[in-house]
Amino acid sequence: MTESWLNKVNWSEDGLVPAIAQDAATGRVLMVAWMDRDALKRTVDSGEAVYWSRSRKKLWHKGEESGHVQKVKEIRLDCDSDVILLQVEQQGGIACHTGRESCFFSRLEQGHWVETDAVLKSPDEIYKK
């Protein structure tokens, strides 16, 4: 398979694009992370989400420590070819490192960010390995 589809992506100057992970069953937006060319290729080849960690500056197979792997059901690209949208099956039902289903657990309510979602599993327990 040629990799011309990878060239269609409008990688930024630093070689990244944002990738949204959306729960394929519920439609909930779980998280946004970043992908470089290699991360996207590995995601396609493995069927599991692989991101580029900007803080750790390395590839990050989501769930490698926590077990919260994302099985990828569909990959879409937007009209500017600079954002990726993944439909995923979230293993363990937890995408966020805080132990919540989604990273978007803060809602703006009358001038305050309010944490609306419960912690399903404590990070200490998730990352105890």
Burial (Cβ within 10 Å: 0-12, 13-18, ≥19) of residue 115: exposed
- The H or E element containing residue 4 is helix 4-7
Nearer to a second copy, 83 or 120 (CB): 83
96 among annotated binding-site residues: yes
What is the C-alpha separation between 19 and 48, in angstroms, rounded? 13
Residue 98 to residue 95: CA distance in whole angstroms:
9
Give the N- to C-terminal CA distance of the chain in Å, as an integer. Answer: 38
Which one of 44, 59, 119, 120 is in contact with a second copy (CB under 8 A)?
A: 44
The residue among 69 and 100 lying less far from a second copy, judged by its C-beta, is 100
Q: Using CB under 8 A as the criterion, what x/- string covers residues 66-105 for binding a second copy?
A: --------xxxxxxxx-x-x----------xxx-x--xxx
Scan residues 9-38 and list those touching a second copy (CB under 8 A): 18, 20, 22, 26-29, 31-32
* Angle at CA of residue 34, ends 28 and 36, nearest 5°: 135
- Give the residue, chosen from 10, 12, 46, 106, that forms a contact with a second copy under the rule CB under 8 A: 106
- By beta-carbon proximity to a second copy, the closer residue of 11 and 105 is 105
Locus of tokens 């990070």: 123
Residues that bind a second copy in the complex, under the rule CB under 8 A = 1-2, 4-5, 8, 18, 20, 22, 26-29, 31-32, 44, 74-81, 83, 85, 96-98, 100, 103-108, 111-113
